[in-house]
Chains A and B, each alone.
Chain A
Amino acid sequence: MTAPTDIDAIRAAFQADLGAVATEADLQTVRDRYLGRKQGAVAALMKSMASAPTADRPALGKAANELKREIDQALATRRQTLEASARPAGGVDVTLPGRETPFGRRHPLTLIREQVESIFGAMGFETLQGPQVEDDYHNFEALNMPPDHPARDMQDTFYLDRPMPGAGGTPSTHPATLLRTHTSGMQIRYMETHQPPVRIIAPGVVYRRDTPDLTHSPMFVQVEGLLVGEGITMADLKGTLVAFLQAFFDADTRVMFRPSFFPYTEPSAEVFISCVFCDGTGCPVCKKTGWLEILGCGMVHPAVFEAVGYDPERYTGWAFGLGIDRVALLKHRVEDIRLFYDNDLRLLEQFPH
């Protein structure tokens, strides 16, 4: 191919050649062809100007210089594009481990609590938080457990050596004297300040003076639920808890209600689910019964309604209490409740982010 000799032809030919450039070598060939000092088309053009009429020379020279600059610039731009698109030479061992970006885990008890909150949240329950240091009135008396009530033995209590200000440091008519044994005190606080309908859950750590062992910890996490309104029945309690337990464990989970006793509910029930270990066929965990005790519940005792100024003729309601640690042990087959409070990363890191 020979280089064209007039300006427009050179420009057109250059554009065509540039369009065909794929590599740095192509680019060099094109550069040599047009800007080569001896054989380049532009150099040839310059030489040919000697034979042009004198009067035309300045205009021709100007046009030739413009062309040279134009080609030079187009080549530089093309070079940049080629350089930016160039693939690196050589590979790496892609099987080597990548650099770790550390990430932490939420505590398994937090995960379970959030699951419970989310299931009840979808059923319209509001999640509340109450103080851990409580007064006797909210933890016991308002819940139909007057002083010296034998049921207080069911919840062996830690007491403060002298009273603390109430929750959050606000002065209170009931100074805090104990560590709450359940989060039921929150139900009382809520009903004291809200009229029915009530639909709440209250998760949080609670304390009982139990010596630690495989299934007992002096501090553990509980969720309590409370629903109050007109025409609320025990069948509603059953329906709601069955829905919750099947959402939480498994859609096939069977649920059994059995009479029990709590001072703050009447009638009271204990709730069992078909054993998650043996699917109800009987194993050491369920003591061959096929059932696992999972929570306590019942219809709110009228004395509790009277304590908060609700009319027990008009309103009925139910409450339940669920041990988060216990369901975490069962759901995730953790063998020892104390592991949750050791915060051993070898346990924590088994749970999802």
Chain B
Amino acid sequence: MRILVSWLRELVTLPVGSGSPDSPVTIAALADTLTMRGFEVGAVEPWPAGPANPAGQPGNSEPPDAVLDLEITTNRPDCLSVLGIAREVGTIYGTDLRMPALWPDDDDQRDPIAVTIEDADLCPRYVGALVDVEVGPSPRWLAARLEAADVRPINNVVDVTNYVMLELGHPLHAFDLDRLAGPEIRVRRARAGETIRTLDGAQRRLEPEMLVIADAERAQAVAGVMGGADSEVSGTTRTIVLEAAYFNPISVRRTGKRIGLSTDASYRFERGADVEAPVRAIARARQLLATIGAGQPRGPAVDRYPTPPAPIVVRLRHHRIGHLLGLTIDAAFVAPTLTRLGFDPQLEPATDPPVWRVTVPTFRVDVSREEDLIEEVARHHGYDRLPTTFPALTQPAPPPGPWRARDHLVRQLLTGCGFSEAITYGFIERAPALAIHPDAQDIVALRNPLSEKGAVLRPSLLPGLVDSLIHNRRRERQDIRLFEVGSQFRHGDGETPALALVMTGDAVARHWSGPERKTDLFDLTGVIARLCEGFGGVATFEPDTAGHLVPGRTASVRLRVADQTTVLGTVGQLDPGFAHTRGLTGSDAVYVAELDLRPLTTDRFDHLQATPVPRYPSITRDLSVEIDDALPAVRVRDTIRAAAGPALVSINEIDRYQGPGIAAGAVSLSMRLTFRAPDRTLTDTEVQAATDDVVRALARAHRAKLR
């Protein structure tokens, strides 16, 4: 809202001027003060003092003028006007308001126009009045004031309606009487299939829940939003019907949204107009039209207001102000402040501390409770004068939720493995979402995405993370390890916490001491193993398949914690076709994993009972067998573990060899078995017996040959 200081000065005495003793407050200081009272002045624009002055050229004593560009919060539609701001200024400086001149009531005559409100739920009040006009340009000062407010002057009639809206805050509309089907206004819901061409030239289809202003035959305006082109005021207009009404805010808001129009009028109506303002707004417009020689009011204004609501009265208890603010504000400050703001505070008899019954003015649509009044008092008393205190702790904070320790440990373990944390958008393109999660019914789509790039909620963290990897790849970064912790969304499972990892480039960087080594799948499975170990579990991997992963290089990940095994997710080499589609160039393999975070918990650490450290030495045996190379290593391990007896504590695959000396389709697998007993030193004989059992079991189960 752009407000001209000289206009403001017409409605309220301003001690504002050059900073001299006569006018001690500068415009900059006024702007600061308004800002501190809740009306942020974004800019103070110097403005020439002359043209906007109705009295003509200013004298030497004319104070400097300026436009204040104010930000008005949605709860204060009353301040979308010079009058509203003048009221705040009057409260700040303790000066009186001056209401602008109004056309006197004329109640001797018959209604010059028929006004019928058919849908009073959407229009509780409608005021119409006639003015015989001579359409032409506005006087310079009036046009200049509109221009200062960024409103384009059109002609004297339209300009006056805009002028009154800016001055008093109430929107007006003018119809060309000759272009209506007679001197009759009907306020009603639109008929099914009814259309209207609005002032902007667009043909609009109306719906039965929309309110229109109609003549005897058809809609002539979309109520509170925009007038119709057919009854628009033009150079040939002889008589206008001036409209000032109160429209239901929700109805105006819905209608505006539905037909895609937001106007200065709808902006005000949907925030809440003043139901008492229409008569005054009409009288002000008629006065102005007469004053500038643009027209002559004909007959009285017709006011249809079937059921005026009772005024809102709110009790304000003085002690409650201190209770809420933490500062006792003098009762002698409270009542006068509210009065200047337009409230009517009446002291309840025999109350100590005082209690007021405060009548709320109809323009203050934001005030309905005691707290609203306390805010008015606090605002004008000054937030800067509130003390700073610290609330007493009355009970200890409960322990943090388990997710905090989990997420913290995940971050700690993975950053320790060289992975940096990424945060990607929760919405992604549909195609990569489907590529990774092909169940289209399970994908959660947005109704109003910003673009196709964010059409669906991510069913997996991978697409976003792969995009981040590619972003880095395209910026000369070869070796990349990223992870993300976040929510994924599916219709079936809802919102669940997930973890994704991506990895490419060198696992070991080129160094003067030795060559580089490219990342392979086992770098990533190793990281996952370490992650699971960090949570006190063991990771196991089983061959698996997934559409977006390379066959034969894909595994499901299982977590085993204390005999409980749960599926964590999938790890594998990303299908190069997928990566290429997302924009990856080059031939480096990308390894990815996505894991469910829910099975990972640190709970068990809370009750961790340490087992005694081994007291007796361990004995190792190396074993090389030749076996079918298609046999998963995990099967060999299972067989060994089942055969070796309880003394076996670990199995390490220390070598794999294929080549001369090994049959085609076979592999020589070397393993180091470690044995230990908790209660004694094992003998060579015992270990040899266990090893022999292992060899026999391998031969039986896998036809393994000892080498």
Contact status A106-B390, CB under 8 Å: no
User: How would residues 85 to 110 of chain A score, 1 for a CB under 8 Å from any chain B CB and 0 otherwise?
Assistant: 00000000000110111111111011
Assembly CA distance A343 to B37 (angstroms)? 41
Contact status A258-B472, CB under 8 Å: no
Which B324-338 residues sit within 8 Å CB-CB of chain A?
A: 324-327
Tell which of A124, A164, A234, A261 touches B76, judged by Cβ atoms closer than 8 Å. A261
Contact status B447-A218, CB under 8 Å: no
Contact status A256-B384, CB under 8 Å: yes
Tell which of B325, B477, B512 touches A96, judged by Cβ atoms closer than 8 Å. B512
Q: B422 contacts the other chain (Cβ, under 8 Å)?
A: yes
Tell which of B270, B375, B386, B491 touches A165, judged by Cβ atoms closer than 8 Å. B491
Assembly CA distance A126 to B425 (angstroms)? 27
Assembly CA distance A205 to B472 (angstroms)? 23
Contact status A126-B383, CB under 8 Å: no
Contact status B471-A343, CB under 8 Å: yes
User: How would residues 140 to 179 of chain B score, 1 for a CB under 8 Å from any chain A CB and 0 otherwise?
Assistant: 0000000000000000000000000000000000000000
Contact status A154-B448, CB under 8 Å: no
Contact status A258-B416, CB under 8 Å: no
Assembly CA distance A248 to B396 (angstroms)? 23
Q: Given A100-B509, A267-B378, are A299 and B421 neighbors across the interface (CB < 8 Å)?
A: no
What A residues does B509 contact at CB under 8 A?
100
Contact status A104-B397, CB under 8 Å: no
User: What's the minimum C-beta distance from A292 to chain B, rounded to whole angstroms?
Assistant: 14
What B residues does A259 contact at CB under 8 A?
36-38, 375, 378-379, 383
Contact status B390-A109, CB under 8 Å: no
Which B408-459 residues sit within 8 Å CB-CB of chain A?
A: 411, 414-427, 444-450, 454, 457
Contact status B401-A107, CB under 8 Å: no
Which segment, of B200-208, B481-489, B638-646, faces chain A? Answer: B481-489
Assembly CA distance A133 to B371 (angstroms)? 32
Contact status A267-B371, CB under 8 Å: yes
B interface residues, Cβ below 8 angstroms from A: 35-38, 40, 73-76, 249-250, 253-254, 270-271, 323-327, 369, 371-372, 374-375, 378-379, 383-384, 386-391, 393-398, 400-401, 403-404, 411, 414-427, 444-450, 454, 457, 468, 471-472, 475, 477, 479-483, 486-487, 489, 491-496, 509, 511-513
Q: A346 contacts the other chain (Cβ, under 8 Å)?
A: yes
Assembly CA distance A167 to B397 (angstroms)? 24
User: What's the minimum C-beta distance from B486 to chain A, rounded to whole angstroms?
Assistant: 8
For the complex of A and B, list the 6 residue pairs with the smallest distance between their C-beta atoms, beginning with the closest: A235-B326, A102-B418, A233-B326, A259-B38, A169-B494, A261-B73
Which A166-183 residues sit within 8 Å CB-CB of chain B?
A: 166-170, 176, 179
Contact status A129-B394, CB under 8 Å: no
Q: A68 contacts the other chain (Cβ, under 8 Å)?
A: no
Q: A335 contacts the other chain (Cβ, under 8 Å)?
A: no
What A residues does B493 contact at CB under 8 A?
169
What B residues does A218 contact at CB under 8 A?
425, 427, 450, 454
Assembly CA distance A234 to B371 (angstroms)? 12
What A residues does B390 contact at CB under 8 A?
236, 239-240, 243
Contact status A168-B495, CB under 8 Å: yes
What B residues does A263 contact at CB under 8 A?
75
Contact status A233-B513, CB under 8 Å: no
In the complex formed, the residue of B with least CB distance to A206 is B426
Contact status B389-A235, CB under 8 Å: yes
Q: A277 contacts the other chain (Cβ, under 8 Å)?
A: no
Q: A33 contacts the other chain (Cβ, under 8 Å)?
A: no
Assembly CA distance A102 to B422 (angstroms)? 16
Which A317-353 residues sit within 8 Å CB-CB of chain B?
A: 340-346, 348-349, 353
Question: Could you tell me the dominant secondary structure of chain A's interface residues?
Answer: mixed
Contact status A161-B446, CB under 8 Å: yes
Q: Given A148-B250, A267-B378, are A104 and B418 neighbors across the interface (CB < 8 Å)?
A: yes
Assembly CA distance A242 to B386 (angstroms)? 12
What A residues does B419 contact at CB under 8 A?
104
What A residues does B326 contact at CB under 8 A?
233-236
What B residues does A104 contact at CB under 8 A?
414-421, 481, 483
Contact status A344-B472, CB under 8 Å: yes
Q: Given A105-B420, A148-B254, A260-B38, are A267 and B375 neighbors across the interface (CB < 8 Å)?
A: yes
Interface centre among A121, A164, A349 (most CB of B within 10 A): A164
Q: Given A158-B449, A242-B388, are A133 and B457 neighbors across the interface (CB < 8 Å)?
A: yes
Q: A227 contacts the other chain (Cβ, under 8 Å)?
A: yes
Which A8-28 residues sit within 8 Å CB-CB of chain B?
A: none
Contact status B38-A159, CB under 8 Å: no
Q: A232 contacts the other chain (Cβ, under 8 Å)?
A: yes
Contact status A267-B374, CB under 8 Å: yes
Q: A128 contacts the other chain (Cβ, under 8 Å)?
A: yes
User: What's the minimum C-beta distance from A165 to chain B, rounded to whole angstroms?
Assistant: 4
Contact status A266-B446, CB under 8 Å: no
Contact status B418-A238, CB under 8 Å: no
**Can you give 28 contacting A-B residue pairs, CB < 8 Å?**
A97-B511, A100-B509, A103-B418, A104-B420, A104-B481, A107-B421, A107-B423, A123-B393, A129-B403, A158-B448, A160-B446, A161-B445, A164-B494, A167-B495, A169-B493, A197-B394, A199-B397, A211-B450, A231-B323, A233-B325, A234-B326, A235-B389, A242-B388, A259-B38, A259-B379, A266-B375, A267-B379, A345-B420
Assembly CA distance A99 to B411 (angstroms)? 23
* Total chain A interface residues with beta-carbon distance under 8 A: 90
What B residues does A349 contact at CB under 8 A?
420
What B residues does A131 contact at CB under 8 A?
487, 495
Q: A56 contacts the other chain (Cβ, under 8 Å)?
A: no
Contact status A343-B388, CB under 8 Å: no
Assembly CA distance A340 to B420 (angstroms)? 13
Assembly CA distance A240 to B393 (angstroms)? 12
Contact status B445-A160, CB under 8 Å: yes
User: What's the minimum C-beta distance from B476 to chain A, rounded to whole angstroms?
Assistant: 9
Assembly CA distance A232 to B371 (angstroms)? 14
Assembly CA distance A165 to B511 (angstroms)? 52
Q: A151 contacts the other chain (Cβ, under 8 Å)?
A: yes
What B residues does A240 contact at CB under 8 A?
390-391
Tell which of B75, B421, B475, B481 touches A102, judged by Cβ atoms closer than 8 Å. B481
Q: Given A266-B372, A267-B374, are A235 and B388 neighbors across the interface (CB < 8 Å)?
A: yes
User: What's the minimum C-beta distance from B68 to chain A, rounded to whole angstroms?
Assistant: 15
Assembly CA distance A124 to B495 (angstroms)? 29
Contact status A103-B415, CB under 8 Å: yes
In the complex formed, the residue of A with least CB distance to B395 is A197
What B residues does A53 contact at CB under 8 A?
none
User: What's the minimum C-beta distance from B372 to chain A, rounded to whole angstroms?
Assistant: 6
Assembly CA distance A268 to B371 (angstroms)? 11
Assembly CA distance A232 to B495 (angstroms)? 35
Q: A282 contacts the other chain (Cβ, under 8 Å)?
A: no
Assembly CA distance A124 to B400 (angstroms)? 11
Contact status B74-A154, CB under 8 Å: yes
Contact status A150-B395, CB under 8 Å: no
Assembly CA distance A342 to B472 (angstroms)? 9
User: How would residues 198 to 236 of chain A score, 1 for a CB under 8 Å from any chain B CB and 0 otherwise?
Assistant: 010000010101010000001101000001010111111
User: What's the minimum C-beta distance from A326 to chain B, rounded to whole angstroms?
Assistant: 15
In the complex formed, the residue of B with least CB distance to A167 is B495
What B residues does A129 contact at CB under 8 A?
401, 403
Contact status A257-B389, CB under 8 Å: no
Assembly CA distance A305 to B415 (angstroms)? 42
Contact status B371-A266, CB under 8 Å: yes
In the complex formed, the residue of A with least CB distance to B481 is A104
What B residues does A109 contact at CB under 8 A?
423
User: What's the minimum C-beta distance from A312 to chain B, rounded to whole angstroms?
Assistant: 8
